[in-house]
Protein backbone atom coordinates (compact mmCIF):
# COMPACT_ATOMS: atom_id res chain seq x y z
CA UNK A 1 0.00 0.00 0.00
CA UNK A 2 2.75 2.45 1.08
CA UNK A 3 4.89 1.46 -1.89
CA UNK A 4 2.15 1.95 -4.49
CA UNK A 5 1.34 5.26 -2.87
CA UNK A 6 4.95 6.35 -3.28
CA UNK A 7 4.94 5.17 -6.87
CA UNK A 8 1.77 7.11 -7.56
CA UNK A 9 3.29 10.20 -5.94
CA UNK A 10 6.49 9.87 -7.99
CA UNK A 11 4.43 9.50 -11.18
CA UNK A 12 2.31 12.53 -10.33
CA UNK A 13 5.45 14.62 -9.75
CA UNK A 14 6.90 13.45 -13.06
CA UNK A 15 3.72 14.33 -14.94
CA UNK A 16 3.57 17.76 -13.28
CA UNK A 17 7.21 18.48 -14.14
CA UNK A 18 6.67 17.38 -17.71
CA UNK A 19 3.54 19.50 -17.98
CA UNK A 20 5.45 22.47 -16.58
CA UNK A 21 8.31 22.18 -19.10
CA UNK A 22 5.77 21.77 -21.91
CA UNK A 23 3.98 24.94 -20.83
CA UNK A 24 7.26 26.84 -20.65
CA UNK A 25 7.92 26.16 -24.34
CA UNK A 26 4.48 27.16 -25.64
CA UNK A 27 4.62 30.75 -26.90
CA UNK A 28 1.85 33.06 -25.67
CA UNK A 29 1.05 36.78 -25.63
CA UNK A 30 3.98 37.31 -23.21
CA UNK A 31 6.29 35.98 -25.93
CA UNK A 32 4.81 38.56 -28.33
CA UNK A 33 5.21 41.32 -25.74
CA UNK A 34 8.88 40.40 -25.21
CA UNK A 35 9.47 40.41 -28.99
CA UNK A 36 7.86 43.84 -29.42
CA UNK A 37 9.74 45.32 -26.45
CA UNK A 38 12.94 43.98 -28.04
CA UNK A 39 11.97 45.79 -31.24
CA UNK A 40 11.30 48.98 -29.26
CA UNK A 41 14.71 48.72 -27.60
CA UNK A 42 16.36 48.47 -31.03
CA UNK A 43 14.74 51.69 -32.24
CA UNK A 44 17.25 54.45 -31.67
CA UNK A 45 15.12 57.30 -32.93
CA UNK A 46 11.36 57.81 -32.49
CA UNK A 47 11.07 61.60 -32.98
CA UNK A 48 7.33 61.74 -32.31
CA UNK A 49 7.59 59.53 -29.20
CA UNK A 50 4.95 57.23 -30.62
CA UNK A 51 6.27 53.93 -29.30
CA UNK A 52 8.16 55.53 -26.42
CA UNK A 53 4.97 56.60 -24.70
CA UNK A 54 2.55 53.96 -25.96
CA UNK A 55 4.36 50.61 -25.99
CA UNK A 56 4.51 50.10 -22.25
CA UNK A 57 4.24 46.88 -20.28
CA UNK A 58 1.73 48.68 -18.04
CA UNK A 59 -0.90 48.44 -20.78
CA UNK A 60 -2.00 45.30 -22.64
CA UNK A 61 0.02 44.55 -25.79
CA UNK A 62 -3.15 44.30 -27.88
CA UNK A 63 -3.97 47.96 -27.10
CA UNK A 64 -0.58 49.22 -28.31
CA UNK A 65 -0.51 51.47 -31.34
CA UNK A 66 0.05 49.52 -34.58
CA UNK A 67 -0.83 46.17 -33.00
CA UNK A 68 -3.73 43.92 -33.98
CA UNK A 69 -4.47 40.70 -32.11
CA UNK A 70 -6.52 37.65 -32.83
CA UNK A 71 -9.33 37.62 -30.28
CA UNK A 72 -9.58 33.84 -30.59
CA UNK A 73 -5.92 33.03 -29.93
CA UNK A 74 -4.97 36.22 -28.06
CA UNK A 75 -1.78 36.57 -30.10
CA UNK A 76 -0.41 39.41 -32.25
CA UNK A 77 -1.51 39.02 -35.90
CA UNK A 78 -0.55 42.38 -37.40
CA UNK A 79 2.22 44.89 -36.82
CA UNK A 80 1.95 48.24 -38.62
CA UNK A 81 4.55 50.82 -37.67
CA UNK A 82 4.78 52.40 -41.11
CA UNK A 83 5.46 56.12 -41.67
CA UNK A 84 6.39 56.81 -38.05
CA UNK A 85 9.91 58.10 -38.84
CA UNK A 86 11.38 55.24 -36.81
CA UNK A 87 15.10 54.63 -37.13
CA UNK A 88 16.77 51.46 -35.94
CA UNK A 89 17.30 47.81 -36.67
CA UNK A 90 14.83 44.93 -36.73
CA UNK A 91 15.91 42.38 -34.07
CA UNK A 92 15.58 38.60 -34.64
CA UNK A 93 13.03 38.49 -31.79
CA UNK A 94 10.29 39.43 -34.26
CA UNK A 95 10.64 35.86 -35.49
CA UNK A 96 8.85 34.84 -32.25
CA UNK A 97 5.58 36.47 -33.35
CA UNK A 98 4.34 33.08 -34.47
CA UNK A 99 0.78 34.26 -35.25
CA UNK A 100 1.88 37.25 -37.35
CA UNK A 101 -0.01 37.53 -40.66
CA UNK A 102 0.84 41.08 -41.68
CA UNK A 103 3.98 43.16 -41.20
CA UNK A 104 4.17 46.77 -42.40
CA UNK A 105 7.33 48.67 -41.55
CA UNK A 106 7.34 50.71 -44.77
CA UNK A 107 8.46 54.33 -45.02
CA UNK A 108 10.61 54.38 -41.89
CA UNK A 109 14.41 54.33 -41.80
CA UNK A 110 15.22 50.86 -40.58
CA UNK A 111 18.68 49.70 -41.60
CA UNK A 112 21.02 46.74 -41.24
CA UNK A 113 20.17 43.16 -42.06
CA UNK A 114 16.62 41.94 -42.30
CA UNK A 115 16.51 39.01 -39.83
CA UNK A 116 16.21 35.56 -41.44
CA UNK A 117 14.17 34.46 -38.39
CA UNK A 118 11.16 36.19 -39.99
CA UNK A 119 11.24 33.67 -42.82
CA UNK A 120 10.17 31.02 -40.28
CA UNK A 121 6.82 32.73 -39.65
CA UNK A 122 4.40 30.33 -41.29
CA UNK A 123 1.32 32.54 -41.18
CA UNK A 124 3.01 35.68 -42.54
CA UNK A 125 1.29 36.67 -45.79
CA UNK A 126 1.67 40.43 -46.21
CA UNK A 127 4.99 42.11 -45.78
CA UNK A 128 5.81 45.69 -46.68
CA UNK A 129 9.37 46.87 -46.12
CA UNK A 130 9.33 49.52 -48.86
CA UNK A 131 11.34 52.73 -48.30
CA UNK A 132 13.83 51.71 -45.66
CA UNK A 133 17.59 51.37 -45.67
CA UNK A 134 18.13 47.65 -45.31
CA UNK A 135 21.38 46.22 -46.53
CA UNK A 136 21.71 42.77 -48.02
CA UNK A 137 18.76 40.75 -49.17
CA UNK A 138 15.30 40.32 -47.75
CA UNK A 139 14.83 36.58 -47.15
CA UNK A 140 12.33 35.02 -49.54
CA UNK A 141 9.01 34.06 -48.04
C1 LIG B 1 2.99 32.66 -20.89
O2 LIG B 1 3.80 31.53 -20.66
C3 LIG B 1 4.69 31.67 -19.55
C4 LIG B 1 5.55 30.43 -19.48
O5 LIG B 1 6.25 30.27 -20.66
C6 LIG B 1 3.89 31.86 -18.28
O7 LIG B 1 4.76 32.06 -17.18
C8 LIG B 1 2.99 33.08 -18.43
O9 LIG B 1 2.17 33.22 -17.31
C10 LIG B 1 2.13 32.96 -19.68
N11 LIG B 1 1.42 34.21 -19.86
C12 LIG B 1 0.14 34.27 -20.20
C13 LIG B 1 -0.43 35.65 -20.38
O14 LIG B 1 -0.52 33.26 -20.38
C1 LIG C 1 -1.86 53.62 -27.20
O2 LIG C 1 -2.44 53.98 -28.43
C3 LIG C 1 -3.72 53.40 -28.66
C4 LIG C 1 -4.13 53.72 -30.09
O5 LIG C 1 -4.00 55.08 -30.36
C6 LIG C 1 -4.68 53.90 -27.60
O7 LIG C 1 -5.94 53.31 -27.80
C8 LIG C 1 -4.14 53.52 -26.23
O9 LIG C 1 -4.97 54.03 -25.23
C10 LIG C 1 -2.73 54.05 -26.04
N11 LIG C 1 -2.20 53.58 -24.79
C12 LIG C 1 -1.48 54.32 -23.96
C13 LIG C 1 -1.04 53.65 -22.69
O14 LIG C 1 -1.17 55.47 -24.22
C1 LIG D 1 6.27 58.72 -45.17
O2 LIG D 1 6.39 59.18 -43.85
C3 LIG D 1 6.39 60.60 -43.73
C4 LIG D 1 6.70 60.92 -42.27
O5 LIG D 1 5.84 60.29 -41.39
C6 LIG D 1 5.03 61.12 -44.19
O7 LIG D 1 5.01 62.54 -44.08
C8 LIG D 1 4.81 60.71 -45.64
O9 LIG D 1 3.52 61.08 -46.04
C10 LIG D 1 4.96 59.20 -45.78
N11 LIG D 1 4.93 58.84 -47.19
C12 LIG D 1 4.18 57.82 -47.64
C13 LIG D 1 4.29 57.54 -49.10
O14 LIG D 1 3.46 57.15 -46.91
C1 LIG E 1 12.78 34.94 -29.10
O2 LIG E 1 13.77 35.19 -30.08
C3 LIG E 1 15.05 35.51 -29.60
C4 LIG E 1 15.98 35.73 -30.78
O5 LIG E 1 15.60 35.08 -31.95
C6 LIG E 1 15.53 34.50 -28.61
O7 LIG E 1 16.77 34.86 -28.09
C8 LIG E 1 14.51 34.32 -27.50
O9 LIG E 1 14.95 33.41 -26.56
C10 LIG E 1 13.20 33.90 -28.11
N11 LIG E 1 12.18 33.44 -27.17
C12 LIG E 1 11.45 34.18 -26.31
C13 LIG E 1 10.45 33.41 -25.49
O14 LIG E 1 11.53 35.38 -26.20
C1 LIG F 1 19.15 55.87 -46.48
O2 LIG F 1 20.46 56.30 -46.18
C3 LIG F 1 20.91 57.34 -47.06
C4 LIG F 1 22.36 57.61 -46.76
O5 LIG F 1 22.69 57.38 -45.41
C6 LIG F 1 20.04 58.58 -46.83
O7 LIG F 1 20.47 59.61 -47.68
C8 LIG F 1 18.61 58.21 -47.17
O9 LIG F 1 17.77 59.30 -46.90
C10 LIG F 1 18.18 57.02 -46.36
N11 LIG F 1 16.86 56.60 -46.82
C12 LIG F 1 15.87 56.50 -45.99
C13 LIG F 1 14.57 55.98 -46.60
O14 LIG F 1 15.97 56.77 -44.83
Beta strands in 5-136 (DSSP E): 43-45, 67-70, 75-80, 87-88, 102-104, 109-113, 126-128, 133-135
Q: Candidates 33, 90, 93: which one to mutate for ligand 4, based on the most atoms within 8 Å of Cβ?
A: 93
Under a CB-based contact definition with an 8 Å cutoff, are residues 70 and 99 in contact? Answer: yes
What is the reported pLDDT for 98? 97
60 confidence band (pLDDT: 50, 70, 90): very high
- Please tell me the distance between residue 138's alpha carbon and the centre of ligand 1 in angstroms: 32
Report whether pLDDT(1) > 70: no
- Measured by CA distance, the residue closest to atom 13 of ligand 5 is 132
Question: Ligand 1 within 6 A of 28 CB?
Answer: yes
Task: Specify the pLDDT at position 5.
Answer: 59
Pairing of strands 43-45, 87-88: antiparallel
- Contact 76/61 with Cβ under 8 angstroms? yes
What pLDDT does 137 receive? Answer: 76
- Mean pLDDT score, 11-24: 59
Instruction: Please give the backbone phi and psi of residue 136, each rounded to the nearest 5 degrees, phi first.
Output: 75, -160
Contact 67, 54 (CB under 8 A): no
Comparing 9-13, 52-56, 119-123, 129-133, the range with the smallest average pLDDT is: 9-13
Q: What is the mean pLDDT of residues 12-18?
A: 59
The model carries a pTM of 0.85
- The pLDDT confidence band at residue 132, using thresholds 50, 70 and 90, is very high
- Domains of the chain, CATH where assigned: 28-135 (3.80.10.10)
CA distances from 35 to 5, 19, 115 (A): 45, 24, 13
Percent of the chain with pLDDT over 90: 74
Question: How many Cβ atoms from other residues are within 10 Å of residue 132's Cβ?
Answer: 20
Give the number of other CB atoms < 10 A from CB of residue 8. 10
Amino acid sequence: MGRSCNLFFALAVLILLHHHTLLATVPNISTDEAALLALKSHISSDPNNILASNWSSFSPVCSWIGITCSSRYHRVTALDISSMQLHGIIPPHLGNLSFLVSLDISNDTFYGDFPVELAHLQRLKLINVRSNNFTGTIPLF
